[in-house]
Structure 1
Amino acid sequence: MGKVDILAIGAHPDDVELSCAGTLLKEKAAGKKIAIVDLTEGELGSRGTVQTRYQEAENAGKILGIEARHNLRLADGFFEHTKENLLLLVEQIRRFRPEIVLANAVSDRHPDHGKGAKFISDACFLAGLLKIETDFEGESQEKWRPKAVYHYIQDRHLKPDFVVDVTPYVEDKFKSIFAYETQFYKEGSEGPNTPISGKEFVEFLKGRMREFGRPIGAEFAEGYTVERIAGVNSLFDLI
């Protein structure tokens, strides 16, 4: 697998689709290469199984047109900030060599999201240290540090530092979400009710995207927070 432009990372399969799929679709249409890494298999989810989640993630990835998807198989709900776990992600960052990493929300309802945000950020930093040695599939890896880490916004309302107009890509974004057939609303679907399985959750997502879009005159947008000050080449980049 060669270098990608954007590596989107989520604590669970479907985190990326729910939060930044529109952005990924937009960048894909602009010719960018994209890969996804899931930290866990989402095995604690109330609906579906690990097996169905893998198939759903594969189907969603096809809709997004990604180059590759990898699962670290850390413990859902209980993954720890350890050297061993961090090195697993460092390997993937060095494997894909992204310019930009999209990561979980810095604070959220699910504890894995905020925990994942720091975990991902720390791994991005460590991946750039020369004296940390890793190998992937038997080949030693060179250091690599992404130019930027942006955190997408999930369930909890956070004020974005910037938003991306994704209006033309909303339909395909929701196709990627609904690829997770066991997780989200589907007429006649079976399984326990969860905070994300009802039809109202779909309306919540659309409402949040409309809220983010309104200040920039867009119908739908996705929001992000930044770790450090973002620079632009021209004031006109901010229009």
Structure 2
Amino acid sequence: MRANDSGQLRILALGAHPDDIEAGCGGTLIKYARGGHRIFLMVLTAGEQGAGRGVRMREQEQAAKSLKAEKIFWGGYPDTKLPIEQRLIQKIERVVREVEPHFIFVHFHDDTHQDHRHLAVSTVTATRYTKNVMFYEGPTTQNFSPTVFVNIDAVLEDKVDALRAHQSQVKKTNIEGLTIVDIIRASAHFRGIQGRVKNAEGFVPLRLFINIGQ
């Protein structure tokens, strides 16, 4: 799949809950948007276990503005009950057909939250014909060893602002004295060290094409 004549790419990021995308690949999406590329989000639940459904959805809509996302596709599944089923795969496939993304970002499959695991596994099937599919990490990800890095030093504060749009979740880390902002800053520093820059987001590719010439 090619970019349009202006070189504009379509980027689709999937998350099980509001704030997952911002935490996992928000900096990368902001950089894409600033480069003139088109951003789309698919959020499979409203995250109502963390706060009211309306609250979480409004927070996600506000955060999407920080990412310059054109559209949020809502999955409509209940929080904590995202299943591995044909219907979920088909929902993702429909969004993929509509957006025709050049890059897809989604949770890594080794994660302590069942919704994250199930979305990752379902996305692998639903994106089997997409060339570039990247797994991102979050606070509940396990055994994540990124081999692809994006320097987000110039946009780290913008990523933090997008996360702060999820006001109901900032302090819900289950780690005393640490907010989600603290965790994301620490992760950015650590992945930056691995990638030999100050701050970075790391990714594990399912597939990554490097285009050389035509």
TM-score, normalising length: structure 1: 0.79
Does 1:223 pair with 2:202?
A: yes
Q: Give the root-mean-square deviation of aligned CA atoms.
A: 2.0
Q: Per the alignment, do residues 22 and 116 of structure 1 end up closer, same or farther by CA in structure 2, a change over 3 Å counting?
A: same
Contact 2:173 2:180 in 1 (8 A): no
Q: Distance in 1 between matches of 2:132 and 2:210?
A: 13
Does the residue aligned with 1:199 lie in a helix, a strand or coil?
coil
Residue of structure 1 equivalent to 2:5? none
**Partner SS for 1:218:** coil
Alpha-carbon distance change, 74 to 219 in structure 1, aligned in 2, over 3 angstroms: same
1:150-229 alignment runs, 5 A limit? 150-155=134-139, 156-157=141-142, 158-185=144-171, 194-195=173-174, 199-228=178-207
Shift of 1:203: 2.0
1:1-239 superposed matches below 5 A: 5-45=10-50, 48-125=51-128, 145-155=129-139, 156-157=141-142, 158-185=144-171, 194-195=173-174, 199-228=178-207, 230-233=208-211
For 1:43, the aligned partner's letter is E
Quote how far apart the aligned CAs of 1:75 are.
Answer: 2.4
**2:4 maps to which residue?**
none
Identity of aligned residues (%): 29
AA matched with 2:210: V
| 1:231 CA displacement | 4.3
* Moved beyond 6 Å, runs of 4+: none
The alpha carbon displacement at 1:216 in A equals 3.1
Name stretches of at least 5 consecutive residues in structure 2 with no aligned partner: 1-7
- Calculate the TM-score normalised by the size of structure 2: 0.87
Change (3 A) 1:123 1:195: same
**Offset at 1:201?**
3.8
Structure 1 Cα separation of the partners of residues 62 and 157 of structure 2: 15
